[in-house]
Structure formats: structure tokens, C-alpha cells
Amino acid sequence: MTNTWTDIGTSDVILIIGANPAENHPMAFKHITYALENKYGNTGPDGNGAKLIVVDPRYTRSASKASIWNGRQMYCKMRSGTDIAFVNGMINYVIQNKKYDQPYVLNYSTAGFLVNENFKGPAETGDGKFSGFIPDASQPVPTLGQIGKYDKSSWNYATFVSSHPKAFKAVNIATDFWDASGNCSCGTSCGFSKDTLSLDPASQYYIGKFRQHLLEVGLLNTTDLGPNVANERTVWEHVLLHYARYDKNTVINLTGADPLVYDDICELFSITG
């Protein structure tokens, strides 16, 4: 575990997936128990201590301690080897329901950085691989997967001539391109304003239309942003494309999870933001 005991003991919601700390890590589980009992004053999502979620193919001693939420125990049985699909589905739930910390994503992450136009994720390649995969021709193609290696030259940011990552963040839109009335400073009747432009990083205006408008009217320099700016996606756009594949039906079919329990787990885990 990479969490400190204090982190665990003061948590509001705890997720155990594919592990059984009640039997295998009793000292760690003692601090989970402290959180459940509200020993350190953490109120949890309902003011009654932390809530414990357990996802595991087996109903273990840890699973027996899973909290009751919305009338159901927060233990979810899943097929072995499908934990990544389960977690990716939870991430998609957080994105789709805007349960993430939007100001933090906007201002303190690389969400607004432009990515090399030649980079493609599995959602774009269509074969489950990232761009740059080179198959090993000397090896037979197995039923699942393919042997090979990656040329990672496209796995980077789009860059300025000086090789610094291109940052196009909503914080810049919020401060640099408005006149005193809060309208776009382009001087035309473009319709973009602080009131109409969403600063959510998932907004199509932020990642597409408004950026393109600023280029067209000369408020952004095409040399700085790159000659193929229309083909360059932001980090956030790639995140959206990647996790959108893990919708609820796909996750349930892959993992065998109970749909109602899965819904409750996604909501409970993301409820504290």
C-alpha cells in the first residue's frame, strides 16, 4: 500500500479491489476499522464514519465488512482479471457525471496541453493498441493480443520550437480574451462571452470551436500552436475518448458485476468529490 496509516484512518470512502487486508494486512485493516468507526473525526458521506467498498471475485473477510449503502452491502463480485475494466468504468462515471474537481483539472493539470497530432489511443486505432505498435513478424499471432514493441516517438506533447509543451488552458481563456464587458475581444459579433462559454475542460467550445475562432481572428498565433492545430487534441480530449469506451453495459458484460451494486459503488466512491 502506498497510503499512510493516517490517510487510511481519516478517509471518507475506502475502496478495496482484489485484496483481502483483513486477513493479509491486519495492521492496515485496523486503520480501515478506525475510519469506519469515525475514530479520527472523519464524518464520511452520511456523517456516520467512512464507508468501505470491496470488489473481489471471492467473498472474503474484508468483504464481510463492506458498508451498507442505499440498502445494499457495498461488496461487488466480479470476474477474475477484469479489475481494470471495473475501475475504468468508475472513471468514466466520474467524468460523465462531472464528479471530478473541475477547477483543479483546469488550473493544475496538463488537461489543456495539446498532444502530438500523430498520437492515437485505442479508441482511435480501433484495435486496442496505441499508435506506433510494431508487430514482431517472427512470432505467430496469438488468439488474444499480439507480440511486438512500440515506437514511442508520437507519445509526447505538441511543442513550440523551443520544445516547451503547448499549454492552452481554460484559465487563459478566462483572463486573456475578454473585453471589459466580458465579451470576446475579437471586435466582431461572434457570440462568445464569459456567460455563454463553458469553462469545463470537456466543453466543445473550449477544446474546439473557441480555439479555432481565436485562430481565425488572429488572437492566437498559428505558428505557436502548430500548423495542424485542427488535428491536435488536448490531453483531456484523449482522456474522454479513452474512457468513454467503458460505459456501464460494457463494464457489466466484461466483469459480470451486479448492475445495481455497480451503480451504487460508482456514486458512493465519487460522492465526496
Residue pLDDT, tens place only, 147-185 = 888 999 999 877 654 555 555 544 355 556 778 887 888
**Parallel/antiparallel/unpaired status of strands 51-55 and 13-17:** parallel
Q: Does residue 180 share a domain with residue 167? A: yes
Let me know if residue 253 belongs to a domain.
no
Domain that holds residue 28: 5-77+258-270
- DSSP reduced 3-state for 88: helix
Q: Does residue 230 share a domain with residue 263? A: no
Q: Does residue 163 share a domain with residue 143? A: no
Q: Does residue 192 share a domain with residue 102? A: yes
Let me know if residue 107 belongs to a domain.
yes
Q: Does residue 139 share a domain with residue 58? A: no
Q: What is the pLDDT of residue 110?
A: 76
Let me know if residue 42 belongs to a domain.
yes
Q: Does residue 40 share a domain with residue 69? A: yes
Q: Does residue 263 share a domain with residue 235? A: no
pLDDT band for position 215 (cuts 50, 70, 90): low
Let me know if residue 203 belongs to a domain.
yes
User: Look-up: residue for cell 485496523?
Assistant: 30
Report DSSP state, residue 182: S
Let me know if residue 262 belongs to a domain.
yes
Q: Does residue 110 share a domain with residue 41? A: no
pLDDT band for position 208 (cuts 50, 70, 90): low
Closest CA to 90 of 146, 35, 144, 17: 17
Q: Does residue 176 share a domain with residue 51? A: no
Q: Kindly report, residue by residue over 62-96, the tens digit of the pLDDT.
A: 999 999 999 999 999 999 999 999 999 999 999 89
Let me know if residue 252 belongs to a domain.
no
Q: What is the pLDDT of residue 53?
A: 97
